[in-house]
């Protein structure tokens, strides 16, 4: 068994072994990263390829952009997705647009690792899930792995991608254990997975929330409701075909995510399903309220999208009451 964090580290190490143009830069990499994602890599590859940067996200992203355009493949560590906002101009106005603005003469193959999500009372500036911001930007690929196997295979794919990838790992998943085969390879970006099969309702989710959806499906199964859980894995491109095929079977769709519901990526999925599917009940969305994330655990928990909340929404959609 391998943890989510170790799977990501294995992907980075193997990419660096296979391709000398792959290198890492970011704050705290000299001590292995703030969460230990790079532990041992500086000793293995040296400070020239695992670069400990000053505290300036804009400088880190700007250096990575220029280095990528001149032939290398930087893995950029932003520590928290919240901190990456300091480097939005370099990512959104430069990296995302370079291939288009230079008529395909240049590419920016950077992988920007942005840990997301609520984690141990980290409060309003260290807990956000901002994936919808990046799916809105043409030129960016957005990935949200939910399992150790995906954190290995999708990170490998991200590093090999010729476009800039915003790679969002949920902090609560760092200790999650799972099988990562020794012969595992990079997976194609843009392919969803059916995590739980069912025939009554489709639950679409990603990142840590997909595990809450799976728990809800298990609870609902005991009540005779078959919930099919789709793990999107990649938000852009996202697997419309897999979602629509599932909804064609179930006739119902719930989108659940930890990010704020207002203008969240769930709205894009809901609109697409509404345009293409014949439904038995209205599409439902479940996300966090539009409120800053509190430090106090009791207040923080109010904002969480849990298995119980997902199960209750599905019961409403199917007209089945909870078992007493």
- Distance CA(29)–CA(37), nearest Å, equals 9
Report the alpha-carbon distance of residue 131 to residue 129 in Å, rounded: 6
Distance (Å, whole) CA 271 – CA 7: 34
> What stretches of 4-132 adopt beta strand conformation (E)?
22-26, 50-52, 73-77, 111-113
Q: Considering only CA atoms, which of 35, 267, 308, 311 is closest in space to residue 169?
A: 35
**Is 136 among the residues known to form the active site?**
no
Among 126, 170, 211, 257, the one annotated catalytic? 126
- Check: CB of residue 263 under 8 Å from CB of residue 136: no
Q: 178-193 burial by CB neighbour count: b if 16+ within 10 A, else e?
A: bebeeebebbebbbbb
Per the DSSP assignment, residues forming a β-bridge with 227 are 201
Q: Torsion-angle region of residue 203: left (phi > 0), alpha (psi -120 to 50) or beta?
A: beta
d(CA 196, CA 250): 13
Report, as residue numbers or ranges, the catalytic residues.
126
């Amino acid at each position: 068994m391998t943890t989510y964090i170790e799977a990501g580290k294995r992907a980075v190490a193997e990419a660096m072994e296979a391709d000398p143009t792959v290198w890492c830069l970011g704050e705290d990499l000299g001590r292995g990263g703030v969460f230990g994602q790079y532990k041992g890599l500086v000793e293995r590859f040296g400070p020239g390829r695992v670069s400990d940067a000053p505290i300036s996200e804009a400088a880190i992203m700007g250096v990575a952009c220029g280095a990528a355009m001149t032939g290398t493949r930087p893995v950029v560590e932003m520590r928290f997705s919240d901190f990456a906002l300091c480097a939005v101009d370099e990512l959104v106005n430069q990296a995302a647009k370079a291939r288009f603005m230079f008529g395909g003469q240049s590419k920016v193959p950077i992988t920007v690792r942005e840990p997301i999500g609520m984690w141990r009372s980290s409060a309003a500036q260290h807990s956000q899930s901002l994936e919808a911001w990046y799916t809105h930007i043409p030129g960016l690929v957005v990935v949200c792995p939910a399992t150790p196997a995906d954190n290995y295979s999708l990170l490998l794919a991200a590093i090999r991608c010729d476009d800039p990838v915003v790679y969002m790992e949920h902090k609560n998943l760092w200790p999650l254990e799972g099988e990562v085969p020794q012969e595992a390879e990079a997976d194609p970006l843009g392919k969803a997975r059916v995590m739980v099969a069912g025939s009554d309702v489709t639950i679409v989710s990603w990142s840590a929330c997909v595990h809450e959806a799976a728990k809800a499906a298990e609870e609902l199964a005991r009540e005779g409701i078959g919930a099919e859980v789709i793990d999107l894995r990649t938000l852009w491109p996202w697997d419309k075909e897999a979602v629509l095929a599932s909804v064609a079977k179930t006739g119902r769709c719930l989108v659940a995510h930890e990010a704020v519901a207002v203008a969240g990526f769930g709205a894009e999925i809901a609109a697409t399903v509404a345009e293409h599917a014949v439904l038995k009940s209205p599409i439902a969305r479940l996300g966090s309220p539009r409120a800053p994330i509190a430090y106090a655990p009791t207040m923080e928990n109010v904002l969480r999208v849990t298995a119980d909340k997902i199960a209750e929404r599905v019961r409403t959609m199917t007209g089945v009451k909870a078992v007493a």
